[in-house]
Structure 1
């Protein structure tokens, strides 16, 4: 039989941020590629990964927004997790093989509060072997799959808020509900394992959900199923502008002449106080130009949009059709 030719997708420039509620079972990249296909976008990326067994907030960046995705990696994150006590696994979650079972002692609220206090503030974690952290150019999970364990340097992270509560008694196995707000680089699987060890019985995560990252929360997100059910215009309407990734930046607006020079990479002088993070707009029409920092009255470009990207964003805002489509 002759294989049916795969339909070609008409790619187009799409600029903005889609807040996705990543489903269970998909990798972050698989979710990204599905959303990219539904939006017919030329260029896409995400702001940090979620494990396939994790769900929740995954900001997806398209077009010009990809230039600022790395800035969002530094954002604090909030998670909800379930820690099953008494069973440890190779991966720290339900995906791994069981390596030890221990009896779970009776846990009092006082013991739980004592453990909670131990993990608040700045703590040290050893990155898990089943992670994307690289060693000599290879991800740690590649070593782990080959049965090789490599030395990992402990890293400091910060736990801003932590709530621990015993799960309802009708649960088949003793478990703890975890709510945590933490700095970038925090491994929640490792946090769960360490809490289990502190309680004297070990444990592994059976559920992990990211409920917030930076200013974005789960209630703002859409699902892949909902996205698929929409028409093209409705899908595009869900995109937040690229500047949504820069909520805490100082705003500077340039005149048309200064904006044109700034876009060529030239520094501009003005009566501005020093600032490490600046978002720059042009005037007439108002449009995002890029990011910068200010030192000694100089506005120094960091990441710049191209004139073509700016024009495409303005066209989309005016609901005019984008014309520079290419065939995938």
Structure 2
């Protein structure tokens, strides 16, 4: 790899098409070398077997990541009916098998319909959810039996694209749109359980987070080639990044100055308690704010008063 930048680039979002076999932390590590800064974070992990959109924050854009994480997400996935695994995906050992060749398309459609809408879901036991201060997956790997409590999630779209039959298993290609905190491998597990044959996830690709699409992302090889050629990383600047994450609110220069000093501003934008992206006339992000009554409180000031222009 070539020489990396010695100074931190303009802050922004880096949209990466994560390759299979990489952890999200691996991708962050590569991005740190490419960007020449350790101030890199991600907005929600992808399992090593998964591919697709991973949103990284560079520099001060890391302050946006909390708001991106809570957005709904879209995936393309393949569910294998006829086998259950310890991890509810292809990375775990098979714990049981059943002949799924007799499961009809109509039964699959009915099972999918039952898992669509507002549902209660039990997260996979190998998730990163903490149990008494320790990650659930660490407890499972340590030999413990862990069953996490159910919680409400929303599956706004669960559509079957194709059901491919191979001997005693059925591979079901699906697309799903889900609320933050929904586990697609738990959908695979629960669909298989409902059909009486077991199920697990064999492929997962994230195609969207909120209003940010996978089509805007670059592969790590493409990003590395750009930096090796002396080009800048294709960062989504703070203004457009915030506008893609939170409702954008245009503000006057006077309000921008007030926000820079941490002062509240008068505004009827947004609904009570809603977080907003406050942009000046040039589209630059001045602050992240929260509607409180008839005013907006600055939650994170991105351009403090007197700060040098980017």
TM-score when normalising by structure 2 = 0.89
- Measured against aligned partners, the alpha-carbon deviations of 1:140-173 in whole angstroms (never above 9, x if no partner) come to 0110110112342211100101112443346894
Instruction: Say which of 146, 150, 175 aligns to 2:146.
Output: 150
- Measured against aligned partners, the alpha-carbon deviations of 1:18-51 in whole angstroms (never above 9, x if no partner) come to 1110010111111111012112134111101100
Number of aligned residues: 303
Q: Secondary structure at the match of 2:251?
A: strand
Query: Which runs of structure 1 show a deviation greater than 6 angstroms over 4 or more consecutive aligned residues?
Result: none
Instruction: Say which of 109, 116, 130 aligns to 1:113.
Output: 109
1:74 aligns with 2:70: yes
Q: Comparing 21-30 with 106-115, which one deviates more in the overlay?
A: 106-115
1:33 aligns with 2:50: no
1:24 aligns with 2:20: yes
Corresponding residue number in structure 2 for 1:251: 249
> Are 1:274 and 1:296, in contact at CA under 8 Å, matched by a contact in 2?
no
Corresponding residue number in structure 1 for 2:287: 290
Provide the rounded CA distance (Å) in 1 between the counterparts of 2:82 and 2:151.
26
> How do residues 36-51 of structure 1 correspond to structure 2 at under 5 angstroms?
36-51=32-47
Q: Secondary structure at the match of 2:288?
A: strand
Provide the rounded CA distance (Å) in 1 between the counterparts of 2:86 and 2:73.
25
Corresponding residue number in structure 2 for 1:320: none
Corresponding residue number in structure 2 for 1:4: none
Instruction: Say which of 70, 78, 95 aligns to 1:99.
Output: 95
Against the structure 1 CA distance between its residues 177 and 211, is the aligned structure 2 distance closer, same or farther, given a 3 Å change threshold? Answer: same
> Are 2:157 and 2:176, in contact at CA under 8 Å, matched by a contact in 1?
yes
Provide the rounded CA distance (Å) in 2 between the counterparts of 1:206 and 1:298.
49
1:193 aligns with 2:182: no
Corresponding residue number in structure 1 for 2:263: 266
Provide the rounded CA distance (Å) in 2 between the counterparts of 1:197 and 1:120.
15
Provide the rounded CA distance (Å) in 1 between the counterparts of 2:38 and 2:306.
12
Provide the rounded CA distance (Å) in 2 between the counterparts of 1:168 and 1:152.
32
1:160 aligns with 2:160: no
Against the structure 1 CA distance between its residues 21 and 309, is the aligned structure 2 distance closer, same or farther, given a 3 Å change threshold? Answer: farther
Provide the rounded CA distance (Å) in 2 between the counterparts of 1:286 and 1:166.
44
Query: What's the Cα RMSD here?
Result: 2.4
Q: Secondary structure at the match of 2:250?
A: strand
Provide the rounded CA distance (Å) in 1 between the counterparts of 2:5 and 2:206.
32
Provide the rounded CA distance (Å) in 2 between the counterparts of 1:92 and 1:120.
19
TM-score when normalising by structure 1 = 0.85
Instruction: Say which of 274, 277, 295 aligns to 2:275.
Output: 277
Corresponding residue number in structure 2 for 1:324: none
State the shift of 1:290 in Å. Answer: 1.0
> Are 2:162 and 2:174, in contact at CA under 8 Å, matched by a contact in 1?
no
> Are 1:273 and 1:296, in contact at CA under 8 Å, matched by a contact in 2?
no
Corresponding residue number in structure 2 for 1:214: 210
State the shift of 1:190 in Å. Answer: 0.7
Q: Secondary structure at the match of 1:289?
A: strand
State the shift of 1:279 in Å. Answer: 1.6
Provide the rounded CA distance (Å) in 2 between the counterparts of 1:266 and 1:92.
49
Provide the rounded CA distance (Å) in 2 between the counterparts of 1:121 and 1:130.
24
Q: Secondary structure at the match of 1:32?
A: helix
Corresponding residue number in structure 2 for 1:325: none
